[in-house]
């Protein structure tokens, strides 16, 4: 049974944030809010986390996991950035964008795309997610919480608690959030290619 944390969406309670991050450090898989829907998240070095996420979402081995970061200081060491990608990403974060870039050795091999050696990264603008990331002090390995057969992410914590109580360790309910996925921009070939139009304005990269 997943622990349930009812967290204020604008001013997250420090005690609850601390309890969730302690669970994450101990190897928990949690559902938490972002600015584009709820996501599944765990620490990068939690080896079973990727398989648990794949099972819940029924994902194949070519799925791009996303490393959700608090800020550019967390994002920078994970990916190779040229000047144009740096400027474009800096100008649009935090916000509802996911960027696909070539991973550095800081990213465990199992988290990168098996052939392209790329990984998705993003900086979310959600207050609860930001509090968790700052308290944890490192990115969260994440995947948008879209259930098999669904087209949109889940948007409220209590529904997630009811649907996935038996397969999660914690649900962080930060209130209802928008249910539109991020806009995905692929920089892995040295230029911006919008591969999915979502909540973020794609015209910045066209």
For residue 178, what are the domain limits? 3-205
Q: How far is 89 from 67, CA to CA, in rounded Å?
A: 14
Tell me the per-residue pLDDT of 156-191, one tens digit each, with 9 for 90 and over: 999 999 999 999 999 999 999 988 889 999 999 989
CATH of the domain at 93: 3.90.870.10
Would you state the pLDDT for residue 180?
Answer: 85
Q: How far is 183 from 153, CA to CA, in rounded Å?
A: 14
Q: Which two tokens stand for residue 101?
A: 């870039």
Q: How far is 138 from 44, CA to CA, in rounded Å?
A: 9
Q: How much is the pTM?
A: 0.93
Q: Is the Cβ–Cβ distance between 26 and 115 less than 8 Å?
A: no
* Contacts for 76 with CB less than 8 Å, ≥ 6 apart: none
Q: How far is 173 from 175, CA to CA, in rounded Å?
A: 6
Work out the percent of the chain whose per-residue pLDDT is above 70: 100
SS3 147: coil
77 C-beta neighbours (distance < 10 Å), count: 12
SS3 110: helix
DSSP symbol at 76: G
The helix (H) or strand (E) run that includes residue 148 is none
Half-sphere exposure of 11 (CA within 13 A, CB side): 0
Would you state the pLDDT for residue 15?
Answer: 97
Would you state the pLDDT for residue 61?
Answer: 73
User: Which residues of the chain are modeled with pLDDT < 50?
Assistant: none
Would you state the pLDDT for residue 115?
Answer: 83
Would you state the pLDDT for residue 153?
Answer: 86
**Length of the chain measured in residues:** 206
Would you state the pLDDT for residue 184?
Answer: 95
DSSP structure string for 11-56: S--HHHHHHHHHHHHTT--EEEEEBTEEEEEE-TT-HHHHHHHHHH
Q: Is the Cβ–Cβ distance between 200 and 92 less than 8 Å?
A: yes
Would you state the pLDDT for residue 49?
Answer: 92
Q: How far is 150 from 172, CA to CA, in rounded Å?
A: 21
Would you state the pLDDT for residue 181?
Answer: 86
Number of structural domains in the chain? 1
SS3 125: coil
């Amino acid at each position: 049974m997943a622990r349930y944390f009812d967290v204020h969406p604008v001013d997250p309670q420090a005690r609850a944030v601390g309890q969730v991050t302690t669970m994450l450090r101990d190897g928990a898989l949690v559902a938490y809010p972002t600015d584009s829907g709820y996501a599944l998240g765990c620490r990068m070095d939690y080896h079973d986390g990727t398989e648990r996420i794949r099972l819940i979402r029924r994902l194949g081995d070519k799925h791009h996991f996303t490393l959700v970061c608090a800020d550019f200081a967390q994002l920078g060491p994970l990916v190779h950035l040229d000047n144009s990608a740096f400027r474009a990403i800096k100008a649009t974060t935090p916000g509802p964008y996911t960027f696909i870039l070539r991973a550095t050795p800081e990213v465990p091999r199992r988290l990168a795309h098996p052939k392209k050696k790329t990984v998705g990264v993003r900086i979310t603008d959600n207050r609860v997610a930001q509090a968790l990331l700052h308290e944890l002090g490192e990115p969260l390995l994440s995947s948008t919480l879209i259930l098999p057969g669904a087209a949109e992410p889940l948007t409220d914590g209590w529904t997630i608690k009811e649907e996935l109580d038996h397969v999660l360790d914690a649900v962080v309910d930060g209130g209802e959030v928008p249910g539109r996925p991020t806009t995905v921009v692929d920089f892995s070939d040295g230029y911006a290619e919008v591969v999915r139009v979502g909540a973020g304005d794609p015209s910045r990269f066209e």
